[in-house]
Amino acid sequence: MNRMGRYLATITVVCLALGISSRSHAQSVAVSASVSENTIGTEERLTYTIEVQGTSLPSITAPEPPQVTGLTLNSSFPSTSRNISIINGQMTQSIGYSWVYSPVREGRASIAATNVIVADETFTTEPIQISVVPQSQRPVRQRRPNPLTDPFGLLDQDPADAPKPEISDRDIYIDARPNKRTVYQNEAVTIEYGLYFRSGIQLRQSRLADSWDAEGFWREDLDVEARPVPQTIVRNGIRYNMIVLKRVVVFPTRTGELQVDPLKIESEASVPVSSRETFFSLRNRYVPVELSSPAVKLNVRPLPDGAPDSFTGAVGDFELDAFVDKTELEVGESLSLKATVTGSGNIATMEGPVIDTPGVFERYDPQVDSRLNRSGSNVRGSKVFDFILVPRSNGKFEISPVEFTFFDTGSRSYRTLSSDPFSITVSGNNVSLESIAIATGSGFPIDDIAPPLVDSDDWRTVRDGLLHRSILPYIFLIFPLLILTGTYFYQAHMDKISGDLGYARNRRANPLARKHLKEANEMLARGDGSGYYAALERAVLGFVGDRLNLGEKALTRPELGAALKERRVEQETVDSLNRLLAECDMAQFSPVSPERRVMNDALDRATALIDALEGAFVSYEQAQDEAEVVE
């Protein structure tokens, strides 16, 4: 190749590289538009922001303000902001362009779509609808000191007169997102519960408001991130941070319209009243909030007619693998036929495949082993059915192919999977099953009844004796009296438990506390930080409520402290309890779980705290009993 040819080849490679680089930049860029509020009063202002986000940002042409209806632009020059974040070692940059609008009149307003040019690629934003209402329908906003003209105004302000943070269901809410609404019976439906909250909102003392249930469904919980990183999502024109609270797969067990109950959370939330107060305020102010996801309604249809005889209720997408552990064996020797069903669907509830064996084989109920994978967006796994077959005579036999039929949710039809037939050669003399030892592949006997003993070599004669000289008759006479006495006291104990709620709660306080501590230890081993701290809180707070017969969930922290002080619990123990409960509240919904060392220390402190409270309660009860005796 001459010099000119090499020069042209180099220019071509460089141009191709630049083109690939430009396309990769464009593919890594995301453009979104959002507003500060999609419902405003006639005297309020609206901030419209276009954000360009990506791992690396090439040249950006500053966008023009979009066309609007029912709004007036206050300034044609946008304010810009830049942000850089690093998550899991990945750096993300963003540039924001913001304009401020004022409403013209009550009614509907709109912001049209606009184009943004990034590295010669044009991105188009979504249009946004705005509702303008009378100012009287909007919350009253109290005037706050301006830190530029009165830098000490916020510090001198009486906390009682400080404006309360206003949090609405547009600021923080839980959404439930099923992947489908109309399904067949036993078909998997994945529901993801996401917590959406606007920037600056903080939560504490969060707890499940009531039990969450899905009546009419078989439920499988999927794994979620123990340390979730909030995602930035624009919904209805408003920018939110979102973390996944719960992800679950439900399988409807009957037809008709079924409903999955809402997921409810009680918490306390704090949000800055203004950007200036975030810097100058001495402490955050929290207000109680109750969050509830919408109920999920599903239309469940029956499976279509025409199912083959081998269909046993499996719905999903599966594969079948079947094999025998041997093809040659003796009469009376056990043969293992294993059929493994792998895939996604109702693995936990599905029945095994159909097998047809020659009559000379004695067949036993299969041993079943299920293994589920809950790490994705659906339940996947395998189910092994181990059939034990025992031949009663010799010869050459053929076991028919193993058949497994399921309803394929992709093609909406029944599919039958089939293995190859198995040729089995049985040698040896024909014997009855009663004279052979039949065992599974693991060596354990299949039958639980031993054959009768016919060998009398080890038998011995028992000497006859007088009945009144033996202790056994007296034991038989006294034993019914002991049973009646024990039954009487047990019934008295149960009557007291059913009639005296305080006595019943006091009796179960310690066992329930130990049970919750054990659950916390299991959550810790699985790395579930949120579940770990929830179990710790149930252990400690439930123990106090059961021992004192108090509704601990309705008690405020001062009321709880007063109740413990009345039982003469040391103040140091009360302070330790408050610190532990505050730590549990903060950690349950924190995006980042504490270190393993801190979590281990919390478990030790919870165990020691329960022991200390038990000692204080026992001392108080003994003092009360002694005082009653003196009186």
Q: Contact at 8 Å (CB) between 135 and 43?
A: yes
Q: Quickly list DSSP for 486-506.
A: HHHHHHHHHHHHHH-HHHHHH
Q: Which of 206-210, 259-263, 335-339, 457-461 has the lowest mean pLDDT?
A: 457-461
Query: Considering just the CA atoms, what is the radius of gyration of the chain in Å?
Result: 36
Q: Model confidence at 402, in pLDDT bands (50, 70, 90)? A: very high
Please tell me the predicted confidence (pLDDT) of residue 276. Answer: 42
Mean pLDDT, range 487-513, rounded to an integer: 68
Query: Position 417: which residue type?
Result: L
Q: Model confidence at 340, in pLDDT bands (50, 70, 90)? A: very high
Map residue 537 onto helix, strand or coil. helix
User: Is 317's pLDDT higher than 90?
Assistant: yes
* Per-residue H/E/C for 224-252: CCCCCCCEEEEECCEEEEEEEEEEEEEEE
Residues of each domain in the chain carrying CATH 2.60.40: 3-137, 153-301
Mean pLDDT, range 576-587, rounded to an integer: 82
User: Is 25's pLDDT higher than 50?
Assistant: no
Q: Which of 33-42, 171-180, 442-451, 530-539 has the lowest mean pLDDT?
A: 442-451
Mean pLDDT, range 441-464, rounded to an integer: 54
User: Is 187's pLDDT higher than 80?
Assistant: yes
CATH topology of domain 3-137: Immunoglobulin-like (2.60.40)
* Per-residue H/E/C for 354-419: ECCCCCCEEECCCEEEEEEECCCCCCEEEEEEEEEEEECCCEEEEECCCEEEEEECCCCEEEEEEC
CATH assignment, 153-301: 2.60.40
Alpha-carbon span 557 to 578, nearest angstrom: 7
User: Is 14's pLDDT higher than 50?
Assistant: no
Please tell me the predicted confidence (pLDDT) of residue 586. Answer: 78
Q: Convert the pLDDT of each residue in 214-242 to its tens digit.
A: 788 888 888 888 777 888 888 878 888 88
CA distances from 491 to 217, 359, 505 (A): 38, 55, 18
Please tell me the predicted confidence (pLDDT) of residue 4. Answer: 52
Mean pLDDT, range 60-85, rounded to an integer: 81
CATH 1.10.10 fits 498-630, yes or no: no
Counting residues of the chain whose pLDDT is more than 90, the rounded percentage is: 18
User: Is 362's pLDDT higher than 50?
Assistant: yes
Map residue 293 onto helix, strand or coil. coil
Map residue 184 onto helix, strand or coil. strand
Q: Contact at 8 Å (CB) between 539 and 590?
A: no
Q: Convert the pLDDT of each residue in 457-484 to its tens digit.
A: 566 665 556 666 677 777 877 888 888 8
Residues of each domain in the chain carrying CATH 2.60.120.570: 316-435
Q: Which of 77-86, 464-473, 617-626 has the lowest mean pLDDT?
A: 464-473
Alpha-carbon span 163 to 143, nearest angstrom: 8
Task: State CA 399 to chain mean position distance.
Answer: 44
Query: Position 27: which residue type?
Result: Q
User: Is 593's pLDDT higher than 50?
Assistant: yes
Mean pLDDT, range 484-498, rounded to an integer: 70
Alpha-carbon span 562 to 171, nearest angstrom: 35
Contacts of residue 174, Cβ cutoff 8 Å, sequence gap at least 6: 193, 194, 195, 196, 245, 263, 265, 291, 292, 293
Q: Which of 18-22, 157-161, 189-193 has the lowest mean pLDDT?
A: 18-22
Mean pLDDT, range 42-57, rounded to an integer: 82
Alpha-carbon span 316 to 382, nearest angstrom: 12
Q: Convert the pLDDT of each residue in 543-575 to its tens digit.
A: 888 777 776 555 577 777 888 888 888 888 888
Please tell me the predicted confidence (pLDDT) of residue 19. Answer: 46
Count of H-run helices and E-run strands, the chain = 9, 33
Alpha-carbon span 409 to 345, nearest angstrom: 9
Please give the residue that has the higher pLDDT: either 252 or 42. 252
User: Is 428's pLDDT higher than 60?
Assistant: yes
CA distances from 372 to 163, 185, 341, 562 (A): 52, 20, 12, 48
Please give the residue that has the higher pLDDT: either 142 or 44. 44
Please tell me the predicted confidence (pLDDT) of residue 225. Answer: 83
Q: Contact at 8 Å (CB) between 41 and 133?
A: yes
pTM, whole model, 2 decimals? Answer: 0.55
- Average pLDDT of every residue of the chain: 78
Q: Contact at 8 Å (CB) between 246 and 178?
A: no
Q: Convert the pLDDT of each residue in 143-161 to its tens digit.
A: 445 544 455 454 455 544 5
Map residue 619 onto helix, strand or coil. helix
User: Is 404's pLDDT higher than 80?
Assistant: yes
**H-run or E-run covering 301:** strand 296-301
Q: Model confidence at 537, in pLDDT bands (50, 70, 90)? A: confident
Contacts of residue 142, Cβ cutoff 8 Å, sequence gap at least 6: 163
Please tell me the predicted confidence (pLDDT) of residue 267. Answer: 83
Please tell me the predicted confidence (pLDDT) of residue 189. Answer: 93
Kindly give the pairing relationship between strand 256-260 and strand 296-301.
Answer: antiparallel
Alpha-carbon span 110 to 237, nearest angstrom: 11
User: Is 314's pLDDT higher than 90?
Assistant: yes
Please give the residue that has the higher pLDDT: either 203 or 517. 517
Please tell me the predicted confidence (pLDDT) of residue 320. Answer: 94
Please tell me the predicted confidence (pLDDT) of residue 273. Answer: 54
Mean pLDDT, range 606-618, rounded to an integer: 87
Residue owning tokens 């967006």: 377
Class in CATH terms, 316-435: mainly beta
